[in-house]
Amino acid sequence: MHRRVMHRFANPARFLRIAKPLTPWLLWSGIALTLGACLWGAFFTPTERLMGDTVKIIFVHVPAAWLGMGGWTGIAIASIVQLVWRHPLAGVSARAIAVPGATFAAICLITGSIWGRPTWGTWWVWDGRLTSMLVLFFLYLGYIALSNASSEKGDTSRVAAVFGIIGAVNIPIINRSVIWWESQHQKASITLGGSSIDQAYLVPLFVSVAGFSLLFGALVLMRMRTALAEMRIEARMRRMADY
Amino acid sequence: MPHAPFIIASFAVTGVGISWLVISSYLAMRRTEASADELRQQP
């Protein structure tokens, strides 16, 4: 059943019929929500007792961190689907996630470093959370290099897919790092059980996460459409060369 | 220590990073899809 549903979208033409109208909706709603949440967070949230106004960095740092980690989880799932079920779009989607994922991981690292200076008194510490996040960024760079090295455009090499699955080991390490090791980084404020963040920050934070996620979705769709168009060009050129 | 420069820098880095990503991805998509459509219409 699930295989039939999954393979219904294996046809690139069918996928494009959904992706083309969906892309502008995701993009514009993502831009609107992200801008709205950032303005709300920057100008209409109170100063925090301990961190002062630097708490406002949470509205860009946390969504970037979640999507940096979520992006690699997406790569790992797509890689499994590519290797096990040989879904033709799985490799394309994993490739499409890599650059946005790396960018969000980089944004998380940079904004975290900027936040660390006034809060901890230092730009960087080699503790579990920061180091494992930096490892994630390097994993992204490695994945991008591996998939670009593949000669088959649009269908990532098996090596890149295996790398995507093995690299997922780092995701629970990032998540648990503040529990396993002593860290300057605070413990998780939002868990499945609840949140220790005040509503005044929590609501705009969730709006920001929603906006960033929609933007991420739009970026992945745009990059998948680019990859599929490149495949069409390549196939057409090959046919023309055969005549 | 004034906090405003740190907040502005964080939002600026995020804005520049995401804007670059969105614009470059959008332009690449438009250019490649136009080339593919053009090539398809050739006899």
ipTM of the complex: 0.94
Say yes or no: A24 contacts chain B, CB-CB below 8 A: no
Q: What is the dihedral of CA A71, A76, A77, A82, to 10 degrees?
A: 120
How close is the nearest chain B Cα to the Cα of A2, in Å?
Answer: 30
Give A-chain residues touching B26 at CB under 8 angstroms.
27, 222
pLDDT at A152: 54
**Which residues make beta-bridge pairs with A52?**
A48
pLDDT at A55: 93
Tell me the CA end-to-end span of chain A in Å, nearest whole number: 42
Chain B: residue whose CA lies nearest to A63: B14
Say yes or no: B16 contacts chain A, CB-CB below 8 A: no
A27 or A50, higher pLDDT: A27
Q: What is the pTM of this model?
A: 0.92
**Which residues make beta-bridge pairs with A194?**
A191
Choose the closest CB to A60 out of B4, B11, B36.
B11
Tell which residue, A60, A61, A199, A240, has the closest CA to residue A133: A61
pLDDT-derived band at A98 (thresholds 50, 70, 90) equals very high
pLDDT at A144: 95
Give B-chain residues touching A17 at CB under 8 angstroms.
none
- The answer to whether A34 contacts B4, with C-beta atoms less than 8 Å apart, is no
How close is the nearest chain B Cα to the Cα of A1, in Å?
Answer: 33
The rounded distance, in Å, linking the Cα atoms of A73 and A101 is: 10
Choose the closest CB to B33 out of A52, A117, A229.
A229
H-run or E-run covering B15: helix B4-41
8 Å CB contact between A78 and A91? yes
Residue A164: is its pLDDT beyond 60? yes
8 Å CB contact between A101 and A164? no
Say yes or no: B5 contacts chain A, CB-CB below 8 A: no
A69 or A149, higher pLDDT: A69
Residue A136: is its pLDDT beyond 70? yes
Angle at CA of residue A76, ends A70 and A78, nearest 5°: 100
Pick the range with the lowest mean pLDDT from A106-120, A139-153, A161-175, B10-24.
A139-153
For residue A25, give both structure tokens.
């909706």
pLDDT at A70: 97
- The answer to whether A232 contacts B22, with C-beta atoms less than 8 Å apart, is no
Give B-chain residues touching A53 at CB under 8 angstroms.
3-4, 7
